[in-house]
Structure 1
């Protein structure tokens, strides 16, 4: 039975401190019904070796055998379904290389699997949870407590609800989440007396308790949850990605006091998370996934309008696409040929096409027939994602998909986007992240008046922005603004982008010739920005006089690029001025947590940042002309400099000779000790031309020191 806590119990064992000490190698692999020996082997390998690009099972098993040799290992194979002995035996061949005492934990709902993979007496069948345990889970998720002491008037109703959970921890958890922060007995009685309890269990085995939880979701959240049936079982997803897809599908049109779609999407996501429909990944806390039974519930809720194709589909698509199909997704494989998509172009009303790559795979390949023929025919598409496919170009007629709102070509080999993209007037989200060959966007980008999110980070060859980008006044996300030369969009185009939020990188600042352009940016007014990165490239000056002018210009430009006081992270790279502006160390930047300075090689002194009250991480690299770190670094005569700093790292400061951390006078070391009260890590790496001067890591908060 699902939802009894098999995976949770395995996680407790896997993460136990004593277990971590006992086994030198640990790995967790989600198996699921779609058994993929190559994928499972790669996941196990990556637990220790990082990214693995090989896709041949024999080669992978040789690598894994070498990895496990002479090691005591612990492997967890979570949610195994396959009873095929040969497949399982083939997967387990490399495991024999481990030392005696190595262990494999298998979780399964299939008794046939259990009898095949265990020795006599090694299987542990989980039964229903005892009533008291189920009650504790329910109370914890509904009231945030361990008992009803503070809410006795709810205890009788709560116990009756728990009795209907039949000992299922998942049911108790989801129903508890449904009643979170609800203290009116009427709300609890409504759940207890719901007619949904009287419905028969359907063929998917979805528990009545889960359907009750779904029934009480707000109507717009129900639609969002049903759409999540596109995510395969065990697939880990990002909150922002899901919210943007909900936006593209028009699922966030519910009017709530003028709330923006993104905010409504975040709140809908939080509702599903708080009610245990989504749970955080144990591997990556920034990502989420759904329990298998919750996924079954989403499929039940979506009916025939959503379909997610298995990654090992055999290519026979006859009859699998319903006439009512609106949303389609599939797990990308290494090579996706045309047979996989046969019949799809006949689905007249398809609105969503999502290729969902597993994060463990890098370059993937897809037939050009899909890109140039199948997708352009699907004129009702709202969302298209072909991320991680090694695609070199897009068809010119992609601009005919007039209803398109979401377009994702991240991690592709595209060099130039076609001009026709500028006619996608309904486009809300364009993602071209990690497109390392992308040189330019398309002209007339100003036509995309509905564009809200332009995600172009890590596209390092992108050296200019198209003209009229400043007309995109609806833009909330702009990862990178590259200041180009000549007739490209200048820095002042950023002035009208008043709604920018999250992170912004401004590169190519060496191309700014007029200080007034920097003043026009008005970063102080962009109060939703959390992180700002300012980057200058290599100097192109050829004479002493022009170099002086450039240094003066860069100094004034940085002065004009003062951000708002609520900024949390700032990076300055390649700055060519001789000193930093006074605003940089102002204590009014009381939210600033991270500061990074890189290759500011004309500066003769470090910035005065000791006053910053919330600064936790400070990284300084490549200050070639600094030979003395003096009192100005700590804020001159600040009584307690760097009150919150935890990590301080210096690197590649070739001329550094002396560090005065505090006014010595009569107080000496006693006075100096008042600074850096929370410092935990101090790292100094200085490489000189002919020898290594010093390399040390000093963990201030502990007794350990290391030096090389």
Structure 2
């Protein structure tokens, strides 16, 4: 179980340590210098890992720490590339030996060189040593900077949580709430039936992303006159991150008795007294903003509730469907986005103290464009309205329209901590997977398998110690965990696909920083040399100018097009295939899906690190034989390649190939080859 606020880099470091372990990989025969350098790496990296959590917290307010983390991340990827070079060399050597031995099936590859001395192995190690020593020097420089930045080791005088939010209360200004009439009625209808079916207290979860209005809806219901008349007792508790049973029980008891009980910390005494007060009473309890709860803690907390009248109800608000699944007795009430008209009302209320633009007609058109950025999130409309309060100059409104919400000063913006807190609470392995998805375009509908295969290609799916779960199943667990936490939402148009809310997408880009890059809207952007994951929006004609920027990012691991054009073919300049791709030697995932390409260059075989190739819906007639030397390849997608006539004979020697999709590639002749995996 990970700690709250644990650094995303800590998961990446765990992967590096696993690769550095001599028992699992990197046995290089007589090359002692390599072992010596790797030992230095491990020692220095463990020194740095001890302060990662403190650095991740401080980066939000300390620019120098943020720069330090960026340099560390960049260095980590460079080190990983070198380790992958060694592993790939070993894998190629093993595959060659097996082929020479004419084996029909290949044993599971262990990333080792043979202990026999090999001149080629020696030359390879010698070539890599200069790269390794350069990494060591950079690591030592970062350790020196660590001391200067006064970063603390984990659990040494370091506060666990630095992101604070004011606690919620049951009070609400209904005049400032708009667009939740139907939701309010739906919840009240769930509260007012006379008796529960089996006599237990009903638990009604309200679930949705941060800023969607869960607490506001609970407040509206809590203060409704029909609710006041229906329940004998009402209590409101802001639970937040810490599910403290004693604190929650105290708060409920104080609401019921109107008496302070601060001096009592015995849970038994508190629960016995609360049970007496609730006995045969019809009560309504709101547990607001629950982040996590175990089934055991929930059963302990609810013990006194069982004596209440059968009509008693509990409302729970949470961002996490895993929380609601533990507590609910009825299905989740998933709170949906507001319409643009409703968001516009909220914007005018908070910016102009008015219900419409009748007094400021010159701002109406700009306001209508601003609320589109809110994408149905009431907190975003309220936040922007607060930033524009008393500012009736059209230029000020245009400035907000043309800039990201995230550029607002943090102390003035409620949306930043509201959504950043969701990211802050993710375990490290999910943080990596989440910000990887920042390369997905806004409004893009994606499938679970599509994303899981990309995560797998870049090594983001790592088994916990002692577990042997299939890697795809692990990826599915990661994906569904992000769904349950409201980072991914089921598409309203296709229930088998998912989308990210625009502001969640923005959050992913903020969390990823320079490491992820997305080119869109024909903007000529500058890509960072540190970028590792990239995507671009393909159009009908993709000329060289569009790809000029990618020449600066020679360490890219992911290079994906997203075709939003649904009719006709998309054409790709040959310079990308012949000149650009051979320079991207660190690629793990490459897609050319949907391009009007009839032939692939033989240089594809030089992409030694590649795990994922997608040539679906292209016009290719054959695959180059060099593809059979890509020993790391896990996924090969050829769906809809209706001109492809055959697969290379030696494809069966790709021992790591797990997914081969040739659906609708109807021109392939002959029987499919038996693949070793």
TM-score by length of structure 2 reads 0.43
Q: Choose between structure 1 and 2: higher strand proportion.
A: 1
Q: Choose between structure 1 and 2: higher helix proportion.
A: 2
- Relative contact order higher in (CA < 8 Å, ≥ 6 apart): 2
